[in-house]
Amino acid sequence: MTVFAYGEDDPENPLSRIASDELSRLPFGAAELDRDGKVVAYNDTEPDDGGAVRPSLVGRDFFAEIARWAGTSRIATEFRRGVDANDLNAVFDCAVPRLAFKVRVHLKVSPILGTFWVFIKKLEAR
């Protein structure tokens, strides 16, 4: 398992150099957002059913269009606070409507790039 350790004081911040092919292999959902919450890059963790090609999420508003369940929650509020302060490192465990499992949402600033990351991991039922 690869552990991504990152911090503002880390000059080798892996978020500043993660390539799109590496992003696609992460074992959890990851989306890079700009200051307005628009998707800059993401990995698609949904299984491919062999159907039509899904439209790209790049340029779409993460909180208003993609994860609407988070858009009216403390998660979006914390994202805005962190963007304004350019200091974001918050973790939330939450239930999402229509999902049978909880998720862990980690919001993190990428200070070198001036972008913000949202990591979403499915939590195992115990």
- Convert the pLDDT of each residue in 34-73 to its tens digit: 999 999 988 876 545 556 667 888 999 999 998 888 888 8
Please, what are the domains in the chain?
Answer: 14-48+56-122 (3.30.450.20)
pLDDT value, residue 58 = 92
Under 8 Å between Cβ of 108 and 28: no
Cβ count near 21 (within 10 Å): 8
Cβ count near 105 (within 10 Å): 21
- Going by pLDDT thresholds of 50, 70 and 90, the confidence category of residue 28 is confident
pLDDT value, residue 17 = 59
Per-residue pLDDT tens over the stretch 81-120: 999 998 999 998 888 888 778 888 999 998 778 899 998 8
How large is the average pLDDT for residues 68-80? 91
Q: Distance (Å, rounded) from C-alpha 26 to C-alpha 48?
A: 16
C-alpha 40 chain-centroid distance:
11
Residues 6 or more apart whose Cβ sits within 8 Å of residue 9: none
